[in-house]
Amino acid sequence: MKSIDLSRRAKFRVSGKDRVRYLNGQVSNDVNKASEIEAISACVTTLKGRLEGLIWISVDEESQSFLIDSDPELRNSLFQRLSKYIIADDVEIIDVTDDYLLIHDLGQTEIDGIKSNRFSIDGTDQWVRPGELSAGPDWVSEKVLESLRISQGVPKWGNELDHKTLPQEALLDRTSVDFHKGCYVGQEIISRLESVGQVKRILVGLSFDPETVPAPGWSLCDEENNEVGTVTSVSSDKGSVIGLGYLKRAHCAVHANNAEKTLQSSVEIRNTPFTDS
């Protein structure tokens, strides 16, 4: 069993009789899909549809409250954002970051826990009180996990995701948005992009010439040296160099149609489970 320690992630408990209605008005996915046996992902956005966080939501079987986790650097800002619209609602949001360890068992769905698909691979989450963790898990190192994430094409806060990102740019509309649910903060913009508009850039997997190892922030250019995108993540292992980045949507269409214009010879678009799902 490969176990990933996600305990540094920000963790919140949302309780109260209005918790379902309230949280559904704050996030892009339908929280009714979350349960004590399966977690869902959802976007928290601004009124203009820009990301304020990507979260995972499950249900605490004992108290029937929601358990939420997100990236550690968003602990304060996301707590304030989720609390912002509580006015007369019977809702309480508590920061429980230090009260639980969060362990993700990669590729394991038969064991007790909460099913989730955090890395485009089925797995199981364990919310564990400190001191209750069973001995003997086979831990995945941060370096190996980062290589896995990039290989799978999964976007990460601080690399592919930030406060300027639209969900559709990062392909989160495929996994973290329910277009049939009721209104939520940012819903108008996100729905409009789905129905009548298009984002200008899109997340793609990349592979590089091993002789040229780029760094996040490097520009992607076509063979005529026109800038068409940006590298956001890079992983180098055993002579293979892969990454993630954003390409202009128009250029992605050109590439898909096998037209003459391609990226420079040192870069190719790479299929990944997340970006090609």
Q: pLDDT of 53-82, one tens digit each?
A: 999 999 998 878 999 999 999 999 999 999
Distance (Å, rounded) from C-alpha 122 to C-alpha 105?
Answer: 9
Residue 213 structural domain: 172-270
Residues 54 and 113 in one domain: yes
Burial of 198 (0-12, 13-18, 19+ CB in 10 A): exposed
Listed residue (151, 156, 184) closest to 53, CA to CA: 156
Q: Judge whether 121 lies within some domain.
A: yes
Residue 122's H or E segment, with its range, is none
Q: Are residues 125 and 199 in the same domain?
A: no
The whole-number pLDDT of residue 135 equals 60
Residues 194 and 260 grouped into a single domain: yes
131 in the same domain as 60: yes
d(CA 120, CA 271): 13
13 and 131 in a single domain? The answer is: yes
pLDDT band at 32 (very low <50, low <70, confident <90, very high): very high
User: Average pLDDT of 166-190?
Assistant: 96
pTM score of the predicted model = 0.93
Alpha-carbon gap, residue 226 to 190, rounded angstroms: 29
**pLDDT over 70 percentage in the chain:** 93
Q: Are residues 14 and 100 in the same domain?
A: yes
Calpha distance 140→144 (Å, rounded): 6
For residue 151, tell me if it sits in a domain: no
Closest among 274, 250, 277 to 261, alpha carbons compared: 250
pLDDT band at 251 (very low <50, low <70, confident <90, very high): confident
Domain CATH number, residue 114: 3.30.1360.120
Give the mean model confidence (pLDDT) for residues 114-136: 88
Whether residue 57 lies inside any domain: the answer is yes
Domain count for the chain: 2
pLDDT exceeds 80 at position 221? yes
**Is 223 in the same domain as 180?**
yes
Report d(CA 74, CA 70) in Å as an integer.
Answer: 7
Asked if residue 164 is part of any domain, the answer here is no
